[in-house]
Amino acid sequence: MPSQSVPYRLDPSRVRSEFIRLLPISLFVVAFGAAFGLAAVQTGIIPLEVTLMSAAVFAGASQFAALELWGDQVALLPLVAITFAINSRHILMGASLYPMLRDLPVGQRYGILLVLTDANWAVAAQDYQNGHRNLEVILGGGAVLWIAWLVGTLLGVYFGGLIQDPASLGMDMVLGCFLLAMALGGRKSPRVLLAWVVAAGAAMVAYWWLPPHTHVVAGALAGGAVGYFWLEKTPA
């Protein structure tokens, strides 16, 4: 496990190569962005503001959820609660990167977190499990995902959905399959497998019986607890 504390310098050429690396998955993000753009204009939001929302919020699931609250008015408390609940996974994702982030200057540390999202984080987390420090993918991968989300939103706003029925082509599973591939590409040990079983169980319990959108945090914390109590033997 890399735990040395040497200053981390973002390498511009690696930022570019991580941008390219996440280009394929970004093409699918364009399709989801288009679905959001279309849904948002159909809800009655003007194009400029739809685009602004995608650029500034950059968190698809919570943006779709906001549309569900739309009417002549939007109730503030549910808006805050749902946005926070859906995006609270970012807190855990960011925390897991802290052993690397603490070696970056503060400005860069919070700067690259502006584009932290599921896909680029999953790559960074997998690389870290395999012993590589890769914050370049947060910046480079995040940039290409952000551009894709914005381009997709614009296409959806002005040209409608790109694909008639994305689910019939399995397109809705792209991110799920991507995240699963990243999870399985990391290191596996009896300890990690137990954590996954506990995480899966806790996630389902939360999904069925706790308030909506709490299952990710519940499962992740339960899985983390396994790591807290079961320490890996440190190599001598």
Partner 1 sequence: MSIETTSTGVLMIIAVMTFVTLLTRFGGPFLMSYVTISPRIESFINTMASSVLIAILTPMAVEGDWGARAALGTTALLMLTLRKPLPAIAGGILAAGLVRYWLA
Q: Residues 72 to 101: which contact partner 1 by CB under 8 A?
A: 72-77, 79-80, 83-84, 87-99, 101
62 vs 160 by CB, closer to partner 1 = 62
Planar angle of CA 88, 94, 99, nearest 5 degrees: 150
94 within 8 A of 116, measured Cβ to Cβ? yes
| Of 44, 105, 163, 212, the one binding partner 1 by CB under 8 A | 44
At its nearest, how many Å lie between partner 1 and the CB of residue 234?
Answer: 7
Residue type, 172: D
Q: How far apart are CA 143 and CA 232, in angstroms?
A: 35
Q: Which stretch binds partner 1 (CB under 8 A): 9-17, 145-153, 154-162, 188-196?
A: 188-196
User: Could you say whether residue 232 binds partner 1 (CB under 8 A)?
Assistant: yes
DSSP character for 71?
S
- Give the N- to C-terminal CA distance of the chain in Å, as an integer: 12
Please compute, for residue 58, the number of CA atoms within 13 A of its CA located in the half-sphere on the CB side.
20
User: Could you say whether residue 110 binds partner 1 (CB under 8 A)?
Assistant: yes
| Of 27, 130, 173, 212, the one binding partner 1 by CB under 8 A | 173
At its nearest, how many Å lie between partner 1 and the CB of residue 12?
Answer: 22
Rg (C-alpha) for the chain, rounded Å, is 19
20 vs 114 by CB, closer to partner 1 = 114
134 within 8 A of 127, measured Cβ to Cβ? yes
At its nearest, how many Å lie between partner 1 and the CB of residue 25?
Answer: 8
Q: Is 84 helix (H, G, I), strand (E, B) or coil?
A: helix
At its nearest, how many Å lie between partner 1 and the CB of residue 206?
Answer: 8
123 within 8 A of 137, measured Cβ to Cβ? yes
User: Could you say whether residue 154 binds partner 1 (CB under 8 A)?
Assistant: no
User: Could you say whether residue 159 binds partner 1 (CB under 8 A)?
Assistant: no
Number of residues that bind partner 1 (CB under 8 A): 101
